[in-house]
Amino acid sequence: MNYPLWVVPHIGGTWVIGIISIIHVFISHFAVGGGIFLAFAEELAYKKNDDRIYDFLKQHSRFFVLLTTVAGAITGVGIWFSVSLVSPDGLASLIQSFTLAWAEEYLFFVAELATAFAYYYTWDRISKTEHLFLARLYMIFSIFTLVIINGILTFMLTPGKWMVNHYWLDGVFNPTYFPSLGIRILIMLAIAGMYALVTSSRIKEPRFRAFMVRYCAKWLLPVFILGPIFMVWFLTQIPQASIDTIFTGIQTSGVGNFSVLARALYLSMVLSGTILLFAYFGPYLNPKAFTFRIAIMFMVCGLAVTGTTEWMREMLRKPYVIYGYLYSNGIHKDDVQTISSQGFLNKGKWASALAQHANSEEERGELIFRYQCLACHTADGYRSMKKLLGARDEEAIENFLQILRKTDPKSNNYTGIMPTLAVNDAELKSLAKYLSTINVEERHHAEQVGAKPDVKENASTVQ
């Protein structure tokens, strides 16, 4: 509300951030896990004094350094850009709370980049001992980038003591910090192993290839042995309300007794299980037949699990950016009460300026829609309002908005999923008026069909 907003049609701003973030998550996990892998594999080469492992590592590190530095940096900056355009109020809050942490993150990131380049360009130029030292340095710096960002990511879900004293270190070392750090490192090791499987499947010499493939497969073991422990630890630390969201929220009815989140949870468990089996039957039992194509497919599966799990973690936080403090549309939870009596459009700097130029009621409604709904919804694409409104007329929409305005979970069962609507009475009417212009077609269609069940829906069940 204090800043201008970027409106992305159809896919919504969420997915712009989402797509960039998912790529960034993959690459950053590559970077940290790969850093650990390089250090350990180089130690193996150093101990065995085996030139073939060195040659392999040289090949391996070329694409690795290129990918992590270039693509990692681009997507990292991309997240900053997209978030500041789509969700500026939330970002401002995070920056103000953790200025020092962000600065440190930046420092470690620069150090990581520098050692990465030094590592790659000093192959064969410095002694093997010195090069091993560089590899270890790179590993340490890349782990440190995780140490900071993990604090901020987990803080968003479990702010912990920070809610009371607003002390930034309490925010960083919040209740889910350590379990999450553990899980992430384990996942990073697995991803590093999968990526190394791809590169080692290209080794020409069969016996050495079999050795390397098997070595890389072992990197997948830790996450399956220790992962469940950290996962249980993590789940005991998150708010009960968000666990409830997993099993009851969002889309329970119609498709059975599981919500979409629970299904995603189960999918990610099933996929990780099959990855373990894959690693066992593929590279471990049968390293000779482990081809490049299979390695690629394997990695795609692994990334799919990581993506699903990350998506779930994001969904857990609904409807907050900072759990229990700041809603995903950038409105502070504590401000909702004041706004609903004094009005929203005279509050934020940018929003109030725009409101002065809004001539009609619809325009004011649209302005509220942008600031309070667009963070998650679009008019006609992802989580489409057009579809969700159905054939409701203005009055029905108004009544529905009245429910969303309530803070008591008993009278508003959307409290766990959606931010409380923060508007005064006049603004609520404007919003309803604007929303009723979105689903004109739907209402029209419903009038024609009458009270019959939706024909389209029936047809789709034939498939």
Which residues form the interface with other proteins (CB under 8 A)?
48-51, 207-208, 210-211, 214, 218, 221, 224-225, 254-258, 263-264, 266-267, 269-274, 276-282, 284-286, 288-289, 294, 297-298, 301, 304, 453, 455-456, 458-463
Please enumerate in sequence order all residues whose Cβ is within 8 A of that of 234, keeping only pairs 6 or more positions apart, or say none: 176, 179, 180, 183
Shortest Å distance, C-beta 38 to other proteins: 19
Q: What is the DSSP letter of 414?
A: T
Task: State in angstroms the smallest separation of the CB of 56 from other proteins.
Answer: 13
- From the CB of 128, what's the least distance to other proteins, in Å? 12
User: Is the distance from CB of 186 to CB of 230 less than 8 angstroms?
Assistant: yes
Report the nearest approach of other proteins to the CB of residue 366 (Å). 33
**Closest distance between other proteins and the C-beta of residue 460, in Å?**
8
Please say which residue, 451 or 462, places its beta carbon nearer to other proteins.
Answer: 462
In the bound state with other proteins, the residue whose beta carbon lies nearer, of 214 and 406, is: 214
Which residue, among 426, 384, 391, 386, has the nearest Cα to 405 in the 3D structure?
A: 426
Virtual torsion, Cα 272, 275, 280, 282, nearest 10 deg: 180
Two structure tokens written together for 364: 């004011």
- The least distance separating other proteins from the CB of residue 410, rounded to whole angstroms, comes to 25
Instruction: Give the list of residues 6+ apart from residue 421 with CB closer than 8 angstroms, or none.
Output: 372, 401, 404, 405, 428, 431
Least separation in angstroms between residue 328's CB and other proteins is 23
Q: How far apart are the C-alpha atoms of 200 and 210, rounded to whole Å?
A: 9
CA separation (Å) from 175 to 26, 90, 181, 229, 419? 25, 21, 11, 15, 24
CB distance 145 to 112 below 8 Å = yes
For 59-84, give one letter per residue: b (16+ CB within 10 A) or e. Answer: ebbeebbebbbebbeebbebbeebbe
Amino acid, single-letter form, for residue 246: I
Nearer to other proteins by Cβ, of 177 and 234: the residue is: 234
- Please say which residue, 9 or 453, places its beta carbon nearer to other proteins: 453
Place of tokens 């989580």: 383
Of 165 and 458, the one with the shorter C-beta distance to other proteins is 458
Q: Which is nearer to other proteins, 123 or 258 (CB)?
A: 258
User: 123 or 284, CB closer to other proteins?
Assistant: 284
Q: Which residues of 306-336 are buried (b: 16+ CB within 10 A; e: fewer)?
A: bbbbbbbbbbbbbbbbbbebbbbbbbebebb
Phi and psi torsions of 361, nearest 5°: -65, -40
CB-nearer residue toward other proteins: 286 or 402: 286
The tokens describing 109, both together, are: 């990131």
Cβ nearer to other proteins, comparing 107 with 250: 250
Min dist. Cβ of residue 451 to other proteins (A): 15
Say how far apart CA 299 and CA 215 lie, in whole Å. Answer: 16
Least Å distance, CB 32 to other proteins, is: 23
Nearest residue to 298 (alpha-carbon basis) of 197, 381, 207: 197
The distance of closest approach from Cβ of residue 213 to other proteins in the complex, given in angstroms and rounded to an integer, is 10
Closest to other proteins by CB, 110 or 289 = 289
